[in-house]
Amino acid sequence: MKRPGTLRHVAFALVLASVLVAFAVRSAPPAITGPSKGVAAAGKKIFSLKCVPCHKADGSGGFKLTGNPTPDWRDAKRMSDPKYNDDYLRDCITNGKIKSGMVAWSKQGVKPAEIENLIAYVRTFSAPKSPAKNAKK
Ligand code: HEC
């Protein structure tokens, strides 16, 4: 009667291993890349609190500490340049641009999901006006 017991041990070990793997995957989510799926309205709240002093409420920027000034986010041509894609914005918000005075917000308690919302909000400054607004002129 040795075999059934051994099998049970093996089965138990397999279950335990899969639970541990599932847990490990959960606790270390893969880094977010590609276009942001954030919600602009949620990003606006954090933006008003933490970002307006340097980036201005209308996203126009032009504020210079050291190094580069804050960019003009209303410039649709600049913002559609692949150089300034969401991966770039995400990296700036997450890791900062220390030389220019841009803060590494991930180290200031801003969560990855909030960073996605902030990216979505930053995009609204260069977004084309809504069709309804255009139709009015
Ligand atoms: C102390 C001033 C300051 C504050 C506060 C600040 N930033 Fe910045 N930010 C900068 C500067 C300066 C740059 C330009 C960095 C560079 O290009 O070297 C920048 C760049 C960026 C960029 C890259 C933009 C681009 O189009 O090139 C993003 C995105 C950004 N900031 C988001 C934010 C968000 C979101 C917040 C609030 C959570 C924030 N910043 C708060 C100073 C600031």
Question: Where do the structural domains in the chain lie, given as residue ranges?
Answer: 1-30, 40-128
Which CATH number among 1.10.760.10, 3.40.50.1820, 3.20.20.70, 1.20.1300.10 corresponds to the domain 40-128?
Answer: 1.10.760.10
Give the per-residue pLDDT at 109. 96
d(CA 117, CA 41): 8
Protein residues with CB under 6 Å of any ligand 1 atom = 46, 50-51, 53-55, 65, 67-68, 70-71, 84, 89, 92-93, 97, 100-103, 105, 118, 122
pTM score, whole prediction:
0.81
Cα of 39 vs centre of ligand 1, distance in Å, is 19
* Residue 94 near residue 105 (C-beta atoms within 8 A): yes
Give the per-residue pLDDT at 137. 46
DSSP 82: G
Give the per-residue pLDDT at 27. 67
Ligand 1: nearest atom to the Cα of 121: 35
Give the per-residue pLDDT at 11. 83
Ligand 1: nearest atom to the Cα of 90: 29
* Residue 93 near residue 105 (C-beta atoms within 8 A): yes
Cα of 10 vs centre of ligand 1, distance in Å, is 54
Mean pLDDT by 10 residues, the chain (137 residues): 74 80 70 96 98 98 96 98 98 97 97 98 91 54
Give the per-residue pLDDT at 25. 64
